[in-house]
């Protein structure tokens, strides 16, 4: 109950979480390289193991070796850049990417420990750095917008044409896809009536209907927007190697570059965890997580379920990366404004009408099952209509006649 304890508890949580995230990022990079090798039918990094022993351990030492290499690389700043902005950009990107985890729960709660902190409910320690923050989702949203600043600052301060073009493209892409992202979240918020992520999860756990079943259309819109926000293939236009070398980080090297790369990787991890929490039921799984947390077994099962689901989404991200070609920029913009934004609006309108008592009473008294059926039908119709209209097939290249006019 005293503030010193809660301060210490917060510090311990932050240290554990940041340590876990950095390690996870390092080893997920290794996993991504393994998956890339597997998809392309070659051997991935499999040599670096324990030094001086000759043990290879399937290449598990690779992330440590990479990290060491980056530490000993030169911190080179070219003459033509703006030093302050050039240094600030990667710090902003990584800082924002990490700080988003402050309101993201990593499980439900721990069993009674005897520590009574300000932030605990009924003396159960919540597995979230800043619990009871009632604008949680907005906070994550705000920090994901902060990433645009990192990108824009990096591209602008580099004073390099590739970097400049990459920053412009990247910011246009990120702000365009922020709207579908917000619309997807709005549908979920309307279900729960709260912006608190743990309450959104708790709502899915009590009804037993994950939002991916209750609102499949919102799920699709959110996942596509999350891919674009994380700048993963097929949305990696900001840094497409063939056209823009490295995009906004063309002029970056050494530790500054690795900050950018970790920051982007963190965005993917954030996106995966958010998809899990908002749509895949978080720590809930039918039959395994009934009732409140009473002992260590309950607590650990929930953490494992949540991490397992997030891991599956991360693997999905990686498989998509090696399965789809990159969009053209006009296709990217059309997808955001002409497909995802209208679909998100359709989803929001349908959910809003179905949740409103005066309409819900005509439709089976607002039961979750009817709600789910209607939403699945809406998603199916939306899919068919989109497929028939072929919004990305339009040829938007400039016409000679238009240029003359």
Which 139-168 residues touch other proteins, going by CB under 8 A?
A: 139, 156, 158-164, 168
By beta-carbon proximity to other proteins, the closer residue of 14 and 304 is 14
- The reply to whether 42 sits near other proteins by the rule CB under 8 A is no
* Spatial CA neighbour of 352 closest among 140, 134, 183: 183
Using CB under 8 A, pick the residue from 20, 51, 134, 288 that binds other proteins.
134
**Range 230-289, binding other proteins (CB under 8 A):** 245, 250-251, 254-256, 258-259
By beta-carbon proximity to other proteins, the closer residue of 34 and 139 is 139
Question: Is the Cα dihedral 254, 260, 264, 267 positive or negative?
Answer: positive
Alpha carbon distance 396, 403 (integer Å): 13
By beta-carbon proximity to other proteins, the closer residue of 266 and 318 is 266
By beta-carbon proximity to other proteins, the closer residue of 245 and 373 is 245
DSSP type of residue 237: G
String of contacts with other proteins for each residue 184-203, x by CB under 8 A: --x--xxxxxxx-------x
By beta-carbon proximity to other proteins, the closer residue of 34 and 219 is 219
Alpha carbon distance 200, 140 (integer Å): 14
By beta-carbon proximity to other proteins, the closer residue of 318 and 341 is 341
- The reply to whether 78 sits near other proteins by the rule CB under 8 A is yes
Q: In the complex, what is the shortest distance from the CB of residue 405 to other proteins, in angstroms, rounded to a whole number?
A: 13
- The reply to whether 5 sits near other proteins by the rule CB under 8 A is no
By beta-carbon proximity to other proteins, the closer residue of 225 and 318 is 225
> Residue 211 contacts by C-beta under 8 Å, 6 or more apart in sequence?
187, 188, 191, 200, 204, 218, 219, 278, 279, 281
- The reply to whether 294 sits near other proteins by the rule CB under 8 A is no
By beta-carbon proximity to other proteins, the closer residue of 319 and 349 is 349
Using CB under 8 A, pick the residue from 29, 31, 37, 99 that binds other proteins.
99
Q: In the complex, what is the shortest distance from the CB of residue 276 to other proteins, in angstroms, rounded to a whole number?
A: 20
Q: In the complex, what is the shortest distance from the CB of residue 241 to other proteins, in angstroms, rounded to a whole number?
A: 12
DSSP type of residue 289: S
**Range 362-391, binding other proteins (CB under 8 A):** none
Helix (H, G, I), strand (E, B) or coil at 126: strand
Instruction: State the alpha helices, DSSP H only, in 112-249.
Output: 136-158, 161-192, 197-207, 211-214, 216-229, 241-244
- The reply to whether 115 sits near other proteins by the rule CB under 8 A is no
**Range 295-354, binding other proteins (CB under 8 A):** 329-330, 333-334, 337-338, 341-342, 345, 348-349, 352
Q: In the complex, what is the shortest distance from the CB of residue 221 to other proteins, in angstroms, rounded to a whole number?
A: 13
126 forms bridges with which residues in the sheet?
109
By beta-carbon proximity to other proteins, the closer residue of 18 and 60 is 18
Q: How many residues in the shown chain lie near other proteins by CB under 8 A? A: 93
- The reply to whether 29 sits near other proteins by the rule CB under 8 A is no
Q: How many CA atoms lie within 13 A of 345 on its CB side?
A: 7
By beta-carbon proximity to other proteins, the closer residue of 66 and 304 is 66
Alpha carbon distance 328, 241 (integer Å): 14
Q: In the complex, what is the shortest distance from the CB of residue 372 to other proteins, in angstroms, rounded to a whole number?
A: 15
- The reply to whether 10 sits near other proteins by the rule CB under 8 A is yes
* Spatial CA neighbour of 378 closest among 345, 405, 331: 345
Two tokens, residue 350: 């349908």
Report how far Cα 135 is from the mean position of its chain's Cα atoms: 18
Using CB under 8 A, pick the residue from 71, 288, 381, 385 that binds other proteins.
71
Encode 145-180: b = buried (16+ Cβ within 10 Å), e = exposed. eebbebbbbbbbbbebebbbbbbbbbbbbbebbbbb
Helix (H, G, I), strand (E, B) or coil at 162: helix
| Residue 361 CB neighbours (<10 A) | 10
Q: In the complex, what is the shortest distance from the CB of residue 56 to other proteins, in angstroms, rounded to a whole number?
A: 27
């Amino acid at each position: 109950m005293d503030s010193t304890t809660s301060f210490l508890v917060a510090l311990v949580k932050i240290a554990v979480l940041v340590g876990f995230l950095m390690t996870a990022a390092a080893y997920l990079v290794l996993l991504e390289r393994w998956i890339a090798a597997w998809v392309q039918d070659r051997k991935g990094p499999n040599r670096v193991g324990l030094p001086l022993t000759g043990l290879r351990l399937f290449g598990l030492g690779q992330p440590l070796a990479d990290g060491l290499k980056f530490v000993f690389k030169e911190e080179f700043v070219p003459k033509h850049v703006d030093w302050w902005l050039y240094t600030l950009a990667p710090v902003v990107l990584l800082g924002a990417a990490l700080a988003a985890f402050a309101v993201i729960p990593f499980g439900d709660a721990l069993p009674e420990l005897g520590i009574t902190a300000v932030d605990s409910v009924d003396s159960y320690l919540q597995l979230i750095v800043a619990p009871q923050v009632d604008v949680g989702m907005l906070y994550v949203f705000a920090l994901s917008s902060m990433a645009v600043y990192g990108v824009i600052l990096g591209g602008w301060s580099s004073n390099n044409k590739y970097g400049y073009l990459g920053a412009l493209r990247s910011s246009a892409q990120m702000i365009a896809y922020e709207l579908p992202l917000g619309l997807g979240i709005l549908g979920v918020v309307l279900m729960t009536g709260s912006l608190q992520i743990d309450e959104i999860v708790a709502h899915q756990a009590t009804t037993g209907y994950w939002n991916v079943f209750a609102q499949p259309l919102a799920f699709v819109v959110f996942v596509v927007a999350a891919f674009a926000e994380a700048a993963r293939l097929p949305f990696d236009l900001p840094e497409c190697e063939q056209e823009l070398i490295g995009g906004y980080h063309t002029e970056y090297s050494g530790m500054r570059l690795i900050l950018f790369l970790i920051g982007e990787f963190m965005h993917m991890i954030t996106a995966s965890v958010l998809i899990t929490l908002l749509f895949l039921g978080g720590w809930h799984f039918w039959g395994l997580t009934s009732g409140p947390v009473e002992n260590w077994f309950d607590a650990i099962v929930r953490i494992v379920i949540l991490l397992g689901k997030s891991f599956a989404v991360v693997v999905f991200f990686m498989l998509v990366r090696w399965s789809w070609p990159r969009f053209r920029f006009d296709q990217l913009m059309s997808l955001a404004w002409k497909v995802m934004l209208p679909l998100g609006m359709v989803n929001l309108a349908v959910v809003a009408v179905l949740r409103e008592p005066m309409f819900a009473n005509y439709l089976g008294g607002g039961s979750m099952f009817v709600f789910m059926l209607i939403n699945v039908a809406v998603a199916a119709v939306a899919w068919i209509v989109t497929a028939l209209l072929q919004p990305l097939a339009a040829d938007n290249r400039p016409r000679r006649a238009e240029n003359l006019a």
